[in-house]
Amino acid sequence: MAKPSIYLTTPIYYVNDKPHIGHAYTSLATDVLARFKRLDGHEVFFLTGTDEHGQKVEKAAKDAGEDPQAFTDRVSQAFRDLTATMGFSNDDFIRTTEPRHKDACTALWQVLAERGEIYLGDYEGWYAVRDEAFYGPDELTERDGVKYAPSGAPVEWVREPSYFFRLSKWLPELLRRYDLPEGNPERIDIQPESRRNEVRSFVAQGLKDFGEGSEKLDLSVSRTSFTWGVKVPGDEKHVMYVWVDALTNYITAAGYPDTNAERWRFWPADVHFVGKDIVRFHTIYWPAMLLAAGLPTARRVFAHGWWTNEGQKISKSLGNVIDPVSLVEEYGLDPVRYFLLREVPFGQDGDFSRKSLVNRLNGELADALGNLANRTLSLIQRNCEGRLPEAGDAVVGREFLEGVVALPGQLRERLDRQEFHLALEAVMASVRDANGYITLEAPWALKKTDPVRMAVVLRHLHTALRCYATLLQPFMPETAGKMLDQLGVPAEARDIAALGTALPGGIALPAPAPLFRKIELPAA
């Protein structure tokens, strides 16, 4: 029976600046889950891309002396280049300036308008151009006669005609769907739980304060104060605001408005990966628009935390922005990929520390895993004529092997909950067990006293290493591939299902080579 197809998305990244560690982190998590699901027999569609419209982009292009399209072409390419640098396996890269996306936005707008979900009114309030957001008076501070948003951006009083989406109509239905049990196809699952509670409370409080159907809860979805965007059909003085434009990308890439398109079978998305700063847009505005258009909502939205740098908040003004490209150049791609998902529980804030990175790489990858692989394969070379021993008596090391066999199921469960750090911890716990097993059995000494047992021990260790390398492919594709090469695993036997079939004894194994390099920390 075929396994269900999987649709995974990153947010589309805003092109007013170059990529940083936060962009790499979100896409990395999406990439690892996509790779694991493919490894586990699922057909996967993995989408990323760039958000290229809006007042900030229009202004940034003007400041750079460029046409907005030329500006977005240039900056969007930096994000596309990051996918290659980080080894991401995305199936599509969407840009909101593409014709297919403009067509999808127009089609969605027309459906909403035909259903009476959009109406024309006036919007007024304190607006920050930099944030492209309105703020309530209670959120503002004032210095030297200038009012500022919580972000520090200056605000000005703006009144302009605007189209509104009837968000208030859909809020009770959203609350109902937040509370449905796991497994219900209508459930809108928000993770981690703290974000679900935050969103639920926000919606419930709005309904309590203003009541169902209050226009105060409706959403402004067009602007006339700038022109760089998708034109509103039938009223081209207006451009669609970010809520409609950017969020629609997820169905654009799935073929919308052609619901008979080959890719439409992937919708609804299984997980939208987002930063915690945009969780409300994805869990309130987006599902409400989908419901209003008669479309299925995404199954889960997972909001990850933010990184600090050596204990400091990351900001351009402090000059401590972490460049993922520089990190990869300094430490190597796979070690960086491993560290980012190993160090911090996904969903929580974390601190980036070079010392922690080096300690993880040296302790877990080089010393624990790399050394285990090198010792085992070197012993096979010396004592088994470089050939894989036959599968032997399972009684020898049965408990250890049972733990190894359980690993794929453990990773499946943990990655289905986006517990990336726990998935890696499960692998590393087994690696520690394997190092204990090789020390206890001492196969280097068994050559003289019990060569049959020695062969069985080495075969068990090879089996364990094959399992680790297979399961680590989503996290460290290149290194895990090299490890599988050294273990003599053919290309067609590197998925999870293949772990159930033992390799034939007697196959020749190549000479082992170090998989990881140890890194020295600079002297303090």
Please write down the HEC assignment for all residues of 63-93.
HCCCCHHHHHHHHHHHHHHHHHHCCCCCCEE
Average pLDDT rounded to a whole number, residues 109-129? 92
Sign, CA torsion 211/215/220/222? positive
Q: Quote the pLDDT of residue 367.
A: 96
pLDDT of 207 > 80? The answer is yes
What is the per-residue pLDDT across 353-372, written as a single tens digit (0 to 9) for each? Answer: 889 999 999 999 999 999 99
More confident residue, 144 or 370: 370
**Residue 359 placed within a domain:** yes
**What pLDDT does residue 137 have?**
84
Compute the average pLDDT of residues 312-337.
83
What pLDDT, on a 0 to 100 scale, did the predictor assign at position 106? Answer: 98
Distances (CA, A) of 291 to 117, 174, 188, 217: 10, 9, 12, 16
Is residue 245 a contact partner of residue 105, using CB atoms and an 8 Å limit? yes
Main-chain dihedrals φ then ψ at residue 479, nearest 5 degrees: -65, -45
Number of separate domains in the chain: 1
Domain for residue 511, yes or no?
no
Q: Of 32, 39, 49, which Cα lies nearest the Cα of 88?
A: 32
CATH at residue 443: 1.10.730.10
Neighbours of 234 (CB within 10 A): 10
**Cα–Cα dist 289/279, whole Å:** 15
Give the distance from CA 275 to its chain's centroid.
9
Distance CA 337, CA 47 (A): 19
Over residues 37-52, the pLDDT tens digits come to 999 999 999 999 999 9
Whole-angstrom Cα distance, residue 483 to residue 308?
33
210 falls in which pLDDT band (50, 70, 90)?
Answer: confident
Which of the residue ranges 95-99, 197-201, 207-211 would you say has the lowest mean pLDDT? 207-211
pLDDT value, residue 318: 67
Query: Residue 434 sits in which domain range?
Result: 354-500
Q: Can you tell me the mean pLDDT for 219-232? A: 94
Higher pLDDT, 151 or 388: 388
Is the confidence at residue 145, as pLDDT, over 90?
A: no
Q: Which residue has the higher pLDDT, 439 or 213?
A: 439
Mean pLDDT of the chain: 93
Q: What are the distances in angstroms from CA 44 to CA 9, 30, 302, 478?
A: 11, 11, 18, 20
Exposure on the CB side of residue 265, measured as CA atoms within 13 A: 5
pLDDT of res. 234: 95
* pLDDT, average across residues 493-498: 98
Beta-carbon contacts of 337 under 8 Å, excluding residues fewer than 6 positions away, are 28, 32, 86, 87, 475, 476
Backbone CA torsion sign across 251, 252, 254, 259? positive
- Residue 88 belongs to a domain: no
CB 426 within 8 A of CB 437: no
Cα-trace Rg, the chain: 27
Give the pLDDT mean for 368-378. Answer: 98
Residue 313 pLDDT > 80: no
Q: Is residue 251 part of a domain?
A: no
Q: What is the pLDDT of residues 457-491, one digit of tens each?
A: 999 999 999 999 999 999 999 999 999 999 999 99
- pTM confidence score: 0.93
pLDDT, residue 394, reads 67
| pLDDT for residue 472 | 98
CA 481 to chain centre: 22
| pLDDT category of residue 317 using cuts at 50, 70 and 90 | low
Residue 447 lies in a domain: yes
Q: Tell whether 10 is covered by a domain.
A: no
CA-to-CA distance for 322 and 317, rounded, in angstroms?
A: 13
Does 171 score more than 60 pLDDT? yes
* 58-92 pLDDT, tens digit each: 988 999 999 999 999 999 999 999 999 999 999 99
- Which residues have a Cβ under 8 Å from the Cβ of 270 and sit 6 or more positions away? 6, 7, 8, 298, 299, 300
Is there a domain that residue 424 lies in?
yes
pLDDT of residue 524 exceeding 70 = no
Residue-level pLDDT at 131? 78
Q: Does the structure show a pLDDT above 60 at 339?
A: yes
pLDDT, residue 316, reads 61
Whether 495 is covered by a domain: the verdict is yes
Q: What is the pLDDT of residues 403-430, one digit of tens each?
A: 999 999 999 999 999 999 999 999 999 9
